[in-house]
C-alpha cells in the first residue's frame, strides 16, 4: 500500500532534487511543498522538524531531515 509522503523543499537545494529523483526512481508518489514561497508550509515544516533545513520528509508522520537514503528506504520498505 502506498504511504503518504510529503517533502518540504526549495527549488535550489541539490539534496531536495536528489531525494525527489530517488523517490521517482522507486515509483513513490509524493507531495512537494516549496517552503521558499509557501510561508504556511515553511511554518508547518519547522513545527514538525524543529529546524529550517531542507529537505524534510514526512512519511506517514515519521520525520526525516536530509537525504538519509537508508532511513528513507527503511521507512518506505523499498
C-beta neighbour count of 38 within 10 angstroms: 13
pLDDT of residue 13: 96
pLDDT of residue 1: 66
Q: Where are the domains of the chain?
A: 10-50
pLDDT of residue 31: 97
C-beta neighbour count of 62 within 10 angstroms: 14
Average pLDDT across each block of 10 residues of the chain; the chain has 78 residues. List them in order. 91 96 96 97 97 95 96 94
DSSP-assigned beta bridge partners for residue 9:
34
Amino acid at each position: 500500500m502506498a504511504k503518504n509522503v510529503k517533502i518540504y523543499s526549495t527549488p535550489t537545494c541539490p539534496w531536495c532534487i536528489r531525494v525527489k529523483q530517488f523517490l521517482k526512481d522507486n515509483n513513490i508518489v509524493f507531495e512537494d511543498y516549496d517552503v521558499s514561497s509557501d510561508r504556511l508550509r515553511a511554518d508547518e515544516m519547522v513545527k514538525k522538524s524543529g529546524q529550517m533545513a531542507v529537505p524534510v520528509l514526512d512519511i506517514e508522520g515519521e520525520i526525516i531531515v536530509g537525504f538519509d537514503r537508508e532511513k528513507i528506504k527503511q521507512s518506505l520498505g523499498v
